[in-house]
């Protein structure tokens, strides 16, 4: 760490104004794709290297998984019931303790 700091002795800590066009230009250089610099700077997704098709495919997979989650709800009997050794302090707890297998 010390050697790194010695090689870079002076850092300017003044704020740098945000330039969307410069950010897109840097993105296009990183990805080696000049077409990225012509994206819409107001769209937050423009700064991602994920292609629109990859984004669409990921959203479809997420939607499918969420549908599957709703269809496959696992019901465990007595999972939310009180155990025999739990102390009973309210009528609601007493009732829950009396309710066994549903």
Q: So where are the chain's domains? A: 20-71, 74-102
3-state secondary structure of 97: helix
pLDDT at 7 over 90: no
Q: Are 84 and 94 in contact (CB under 8 A)?
A: no
DSSP state of 47: G
In the chain, the percentage of residues whose pLDDT exceeds 90 is: 20
**Ramachandran assignment for 99, one of left (phi > 0), alpha (psi -120 to 50 degrees), beta (any other):** beta
pLDDT at 69 over 60: yes
Mean pLDDT of 50-54: 87
Band of pLDDT at residue 6, cut at 50, 70 and 90:
confident
Q: How many CB atoms lie within 10 A of CB 44?
A: 8
Q: Are 36 and 24 in contact (CB under 8 A)?
A: yes
Q: Is the dihedral of CA 31, 37, 40, 44 positive or negative?
A: positive
Lowest mean pLDDT among 9-18, 20-29, 53-62, 85-94: 85-94
CA 19 – CA 1 distance, rounded (Å): 31
Band of pLDDT at residue 101, cut at 50, 70 and 90:
very low
């Amino acid at each position: 760490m010390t050697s790194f700091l010695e090689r870079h002795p002076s850092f300017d800590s003044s704020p740098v104004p945000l330039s969307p066009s410069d950010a897109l230009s840097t993105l296009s250089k990183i990805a080696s794709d000049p077409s990225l610099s012509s994206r819409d700077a107001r769209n937050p997704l423009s700064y991602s290297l994920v292609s629109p098709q990859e984004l669409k495919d990921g959203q479809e997979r997420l939607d499918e998984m969420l549908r599957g989650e709703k269809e496959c709800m696992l019901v465990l009997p007595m999972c939310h019931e009180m155990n025999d050794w739990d102390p009973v302090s309210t009528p609601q707890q007493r009732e829950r303790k009396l309710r066994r297998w549903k």
